[in-house]
Structure 1
Amino acid sequence: MSTEAKAPSRAILYALMFGPFFAMFDAGLINVGLPVIAREFGAEMIDAQWVTSVYLLAISALMPIFGTLSDRIGRGRIYNLGFFTISIFTLLCGFAPNLPLLILCRVLQAVGGAMVMANGMAIATESYPASERGRNLGLLASMVAVGSIAGPSIGGVVIGMFGWRVAFYLTFVVSFAAFAVTFFAIPRKRRSDAGLKHFDHAGAVLFALSIFAFIYGVSGLGGQGAHAGAAHAALLVCAVAFPLLLWVERRAPWPVLDIGLFRNRVFSSAIGASVISYATMYSPTILLPFYLQGTLGLSPQAAGLYLLSFPVAMALLSPLSGRLSDRIGSRPLAVAALVLNGLALIAFGLLTPAMPQWTILLPLFAMGVGLGMFQSPNSSAAMGNVPREKLGAGTSLVQLTKNLGMVMGIAFSTLAFSLLMAGHDLADAQAYLASARTVYWVAAALSFLGAWIASLRGQPAAPPR
């Protein structure tokens, strides 16, 4: 019996790999189908994009709620129920007769997604020895990259041949397979339900409102007319709701947002570095397709192949960096990754059409290496400094900061680029290059700042397990 306790089944880890794979596979698959969905329902693209945007909004707002809840009633139960919920509403997405019902099904699908995302790393952390944490989280991170590669490529083929509804039927098959595997592989340890009596209802509402308003507001910055007004109103709501949330959480016995976790220097440094890392690493995602297709004249297919170098590099590095962090710690890897990311962003700013087209692969691959080198060691550092009874809350915060970083990076690059390009057309190559260079170099400076923050974490003792 003691041997079994020290050597838990690897089936748990393999089952957990469904979570990060499905998240990126589903996102890539659906993104490819947005133009087709818009045409079928006679909708504008700005309305059809809510099929993907509302999922990110809902999952970000709900993750910490389910993370805290899982700490009370059991992670395995919430995780498995999450895949069941995803399966049901993914199937209903495929039968949606109109755009509003499709968007509603995506919101309900995100409820299941939040259950899964809030618990994957927590289960991996508590199920295996600390000496294996980096390696295990590295394997989970590599599945993010695999899903990023598989989603758009398979989605393009499936939607082109059979239509967008079949894409949802395919994701239903994947999610139901995940439900079946996790049902048998992941232990459902029952915890006391006493914590439900003290569930932080006020904190849950305020947190969801704050995150929803923040993401909606930041995403809408730079919009025109009613969209700009709605974005500003959302940010005002966030400015009121978030301080009220902090006031409520300091008094709650079981807070949804556990502010006490940030008193740990390693955890708070890892969270801060994560926001900056994802903001800077995803800031080029809006600008690069315009450069590849508009400035260099590449076809969408060719541009997509170039952009694949990012997730490929990440898939290769994530398992290796996770394993290495178990030996040398997370700090040197996180610092090196953010420095490499900053250098790649500087290189993006130096690109010109006169250079060979393949040269863009170098900074793209370097950024993928950087994210692969950063993600699992940084997550391992954060999770290693969360008490066992709060692993769900810790996981949800780690995952949330990735979403917030991506949203802020894309919003910053879009807004800054739009302001710099004022009065110029996208076809103006010189104006495009000068504007993009400024965006890239500001992002590079932020990446170097993130490296400094990562260097401050030190190696204090982990909390008692």
Structure 2
Amino acid sequence: MHTVSRGALVSLSLSMLLAALGTSIANVGLPALAHAFDASFHAVQWVVLAYLLAITAVIVSAGSLGDRLGRRRVLLAGLLLFAVACGLCGLAPSLPWLVVARVLQGLGAAVMMAMTLAMVGDTVTKERIGRVMGLLGTMSAVGTAMGPSVGGMLLSLWGWQALFLVGVPLGLLAAALAYCYLPVDRQPGHRPSDERFWSPLKNPSLRVGLVISALVAAVIMTTFVVGPFYLSRGLGLDPAWMGLAMAVGPCVAALTGVPAGRWVDRLGSQRMTLAGLGVMALGALLLSLVSGLPAYLGSLVLLTTGYSLFQAANNTAVMSDVEASRRGKVSGLLNLSRNLGLIFGASALGAVFAWATPDVTHALPQSVAYGLHATFAVALGMILLAAGIRHKY
């Protein structure tokens, strides 16, 4: 791969990593923020929620803006906004200031996420899109996995401000790389005057890709919502061991993303989407039946490996056949479907677990295990639904 492509891929990879890190690194600082600002847990939760809600609210608009004004130009603006917002977060004198700065950081992250996927087709040949999608999936997983460990280290050395200030030099580095290596924007092509905001959704193949992306994201979110309760209350793990067990999923995703992308390029996105859903279904089936730490971790490895394969294949299928003038908008829709899936997984499948284990604080380990099994039985149904939709269309 020639030098320009390497520099471009480093820029896109760093953009994706920073957007993911923006969520996970803040979580570890919530207790310190509650202490620093003398605030309740519910109040400091807005530090995380403001970022996620900002991304969800504007990501489709950010993608559409890239199509109209130029994707490289808009990505540079997003990276600079992200870096400035990180600085404002680190300098925040009060909790409301920090929450507002996190909204700005989320707006920058929305642009970064939308433009990163959209620019793959501008940067590499069609035959290599799968492996680059796999690489970006890996960087997202690495960003998620790094948050607790890197954040904990920064927190202990320099305090909560360092959780946000670290994004300033990294955001500026990504912007410099994007400026030097990403292809210069072409003049936008002619658009029909009646082009509507949601017009890409007329494509049935795209609709299918977005629906199954949301279903699968909901299932993956369940591991982060239900997993900690099962590991702590069901298996009695202390926080340190629970943290290690929780890191298994993101680490597996980080290791399998690039190989998954290569398989997609070699064997085709349709076949690999179904293969990924099949592996996920096996993992969810085991999670709905087995108990104990080794069985839980083995099932989680299967589920996450299938997710990596699905992500690389589905993202490739959605983005490969999109005309260049709509890539930003479709990338925004793809990210939006994933975010909505994460929110649905946290609320709806979390509600299934709460229904199956009513009093989780005082529940017996067997009751918590039953809640896990019931939740992943529903999750298995959602994966099979996704596979059925994908196979039919």
In 2, Cα distance between the equivalents of 1:359 and 1:417? Answer: 19
Deviation at 1:192, TM superposition (A): 5.3
Alignment of 1:327 with 2:266, yes or no, is yes
The 1:192/1:332 distance shift into structure 2, 3 A limit, reads closer
Counterpart mapping for 1:431-442 below 5 A: 431-442=367-378
Structure-1-length-normalised TM-score = 0.80
- Does structure 2 retain, via aligned residues, the 8 Å contact 1:29–1:167? yes
The 1:368/1:100 distance shift into structure 2, 3 A limit, reads same
User: What residue in structure 1 maps to residue 323 of structure 2?
Assistant: 387
- Does structure 2 retain, via aligned residues, the 8 Å contact 1:309–1:368? no
Alignment of 1:265 with 2:201, yes or no, is no
Given candidates 282, 289, 305, the residue that maps to 1:369 is 305
User: What residue in structure 1 maps to residue 182 of structure 2?
Assistant: 186
Counterpart mapping for 1:35-184 below 5 A: 35-184=31-180
- Does structure 1 retain, via aligned residues, the 8 Å contact 2:60–2:333? yes
Deviation at 1:8, TM superposition (A): 6.1
The 3-state SS of whatever aligns with 1:9 is helix
- Does structure 2 retain, via aligned residues, the 8 Å contact 1:82–1:112? yes
The 3-state SS of whatever aligns with 1:118 is helix
Given candidates 253, 258, 263, the residue that maps to 2:194 is 253
In 2, Cα distance between the equivalents of 1:35 and 1:351? Answer: 34
Deviation at 1:351, TM superposition (A): 3.1
User: What residue in structure 1 maps to residue 25 of structure 2?
Assistant: 29
Instruction: Tell me which amino acid in the other structure corresponds to 1:30.
Output: A
What does the per-residue CA deviation read over 1:220-261, in whole Å, with 9 as the maximum and x for residues that have no partner?
A: xxxxxxxxxxxxxxxxxxxxxxxxxxxxxxxx8343323xx2
Deviation at 1:423, TM superposition (A): 5.5
In 2, Cα distance between the equivalents of 1:293 and 1:430? Answer: 13
- Does structure 2 retain, via aligned residues, the 8 Å contact 1:349–1:433? no
Deviation at 1:430, TM superposition (A): 2.6
Alignment of 1:15 with 2:24, yes or no, is no
In 2, Cα distance between the equivalents of 1:254 and 1:426? Answer: 56
Q: CA-atom RMSD, angstroms?
A: 2.1
Instruction: Tell me which amino acid in the other structure corresponds to 1:281.
Output: I
The 3-state SS of whatever aligns with 1:96 is coil
In 1, Cα distance between the equivalents of 2:361 and 2:12? Answer: 47
The 1:323/1:194 distance shift into structure 2, 3 A limit, reads closer
User: What residue in structure 2 maps to residue 308 of structure 1?
Assistant: 247
Q: Please say which structure displays the higher CA radius of gyration.
A: 1
What does the per-residue CA deviation read over 1:143-180, in whole Å, with 9 as the maximum and x for residues that have no partner?
A: 11211222211111111232111111112222122122
- Does structure 2 retain, via aligned residues, the 8 Å contact 1:337–1:374? yes
What does the per-residue CA deviation read over 1:296-326, in whole Å, with 9 as the maximum and x for residues that have no partner?
A: 2212111111122211221222111212212
Poorly superposed stretches of 4+, deviation over 6 Å:
none
In 1, Cα distance between the equivalents of 2:362 and 2:237? Answer: 15
- Does structure 2 retain, via aligned residues, the 8 Å contact 1:125–1:133? yes
In 2, Cα distance between the equivalents of 1:426 and 1:22? Answer: 38
User: What residue in structure 2 maps to residue 240 of structure 1?
Assistant: none
Instruction: Tell me which amino acid in the other structure corresponds to 2:196.
Output: P
Gaps of 5+ in 2: none
Deviation at 1:132, TM superposition (A): 1.1
Deviation at 1:18, TM superposition (A): 0.9
In 2, Cα distance between the equivalents of 1:424 and 1:188? Answer: 55
In 1, Cα distance between the equivalents of 2:258 and 2:34? Answer: 38
Instruction: Tell me which amino acid in the other structure corresponds to 2:198.
Output: L
In 1, Cα distance between the equivalents of 2:187 and 2:356? Answer: 55
Instruction: Tell me which amino acid in the other structure corresponds to 2:82.
Output: I
Given candidates 358, 364, 388, the residue that maps to 1:452 is 388
Deviation at 1:22, TM superposition (A): 0.8
The 1:411/1:350 distance shift into structure 2, 3 A limit, reads same
Deviation at 1:141, TM superposition (A): 1.1
Structure-2-length-normalised TM-score = 0.94
The 1:426/1:347 distance shift into structure 2, 3 A limit, reads farther
User: What residue in structure 1 maps to residue 279 of structure 2?
Assistant: 340
| Residue identity (%) | 30
Instruction: Tell me which amino acid in the other structure corresponds to 2:145.
Output: I
In 1, Cα distance between the equivalents of 2:205 and 2:263? Answer: 18
Moved more, 71-80 or 325-334: 325-334
What does the per-residue CA deviation read over 1:333-354, in whole Å, with 9 as the maximum and x for residues that have no partner?
A: 11121222122122222233xx
